[in-house]
């Protein structure tokens, strides 16, 4: 199997796993918030852990969903300006965007890793979990964003190269 094809298959599976984890986190967070509302208004006893757990889950599912959005090209873009450009310049802008998003993913890995490492010894009292786990989605999602952006960049470069070969005599 060709390397680019293998990378695409691996990235597709990583994307699917991130999407399922994100969806699971959203469902679980909804259940936790439902339990919190039930406890507050019906039992008159709000669970102390529910708000912190829902925030914890929200960080995870939002960042994983953002990585999926990069892979599926669902992230926010100003296509109005891109579509107004000549095709050659538009392709260069696309590649620049992939590089910028990859750099953002790299920054998430670096700084998110630092945040997770520096808070790893602290514990969230109501959950008994390490605070570093709250910051771990940043480097995880950053790594996925980096991988997915580089995959798009390589695919665009290959398409541009194939297009140039077709035009050349």
Q: What is the pLDDT of residue 100?
A: 95
129-135: long-range contacts, CB 8 A cutoff, minimum separation 24: 129/56, 133/56, 134/56, 134/59
Range of 112's domain?
Answer: 3-167
Banded pLDDT at 65 (limits 50, 70, 90): very high
- What is the value of pTM for the model shown? 0.88
pLDDT digits (tens, 9 = 90+) for 129-150: 999 999 999 999 999 999 999 9
Which of the four pLDDT bands, split at 50, 70 and 90, describes residue 25?
very high
Mean pLDDT rounded to a whole number for the chain: 90
Confidence of residue 165 (pLDDT cuts 50, 70, 90): very low
Question: Looking at the predicted structure, is the pLDDT value of residue 166 above 80?
Answer: no
Q: pLDDT tens digits for 108-127?
A: 999 999 999 999 999 999 99
CB 119 within 8 Å of CB 135: yes
Instruction: Work out how many domains the chain is built from and give that number.
Output: 1
Provide the 10 A C-beta neighbour count for residue 13. Answer: 10
Residue 10 has pLDDT above 80, yes or no: yes
What is the pLDDT, as a whole number, of residue 162?
72
Say yes or no to pLDDT of 164 above 80: no
What is the crossing angle of helices 50-71 and 3-41, to 10°? 150
* Span 93-107, average pLDDT: 94
Residue 72 to residue 129: CA distance in whole angstroms: 32
Q: In whole angstroms, give the CA distance from residue 56 to residue 13.
A: 24
Compute the average pLDDT of residues 152-159: 88
* Upper half-sphere CA count for residue 81 (Cβ side, 13 Å): 6
**pLDDT tens, residue by residue, 66-76:** 999 999 988 77
pLDDT at residue 28 is higher than 70: yes
Note the pLDDT tens digit of each residue in 87-98: 889 888 889 999
CA–CA dist 10, 21 (Å, integer): 16
């Amino acid at each position: 199997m060709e390397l680019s094809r293998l990378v695409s298959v691996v990235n597709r599976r990583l994307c699917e796993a991130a999407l399922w984890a994100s969806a699971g986190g959203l469902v679980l967070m909804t259940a936790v918030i439902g339990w919190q509302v039930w406890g507050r208004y019906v039992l008159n006893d709000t669970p102390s852990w529910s708000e912190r757990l829902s925030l914890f889950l929200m960080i995870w599912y939002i960042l994983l969903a953002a990585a999926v959005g990069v892979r599926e090209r669902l992230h926010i873009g100003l296509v109005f300006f891109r579509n107004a450009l000549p095709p050659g310049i538009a392709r260069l802008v696309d590649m620049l965007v992939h590089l910028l998003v990859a750099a953002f993913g790299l920054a998430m890995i670096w700084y998110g890793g630092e945040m997770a490492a520096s808070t790893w010894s602290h514990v969230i009292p109501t959950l008994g979990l390490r605070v570093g786990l709250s910051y771990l989605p940043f480097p995880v999602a950053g790594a996925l964003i980096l991988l997915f952006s580089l995959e798009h960049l390589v695919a665009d470069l290959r398409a541009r190269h194939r297009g140039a070969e077709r035009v050349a005599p």
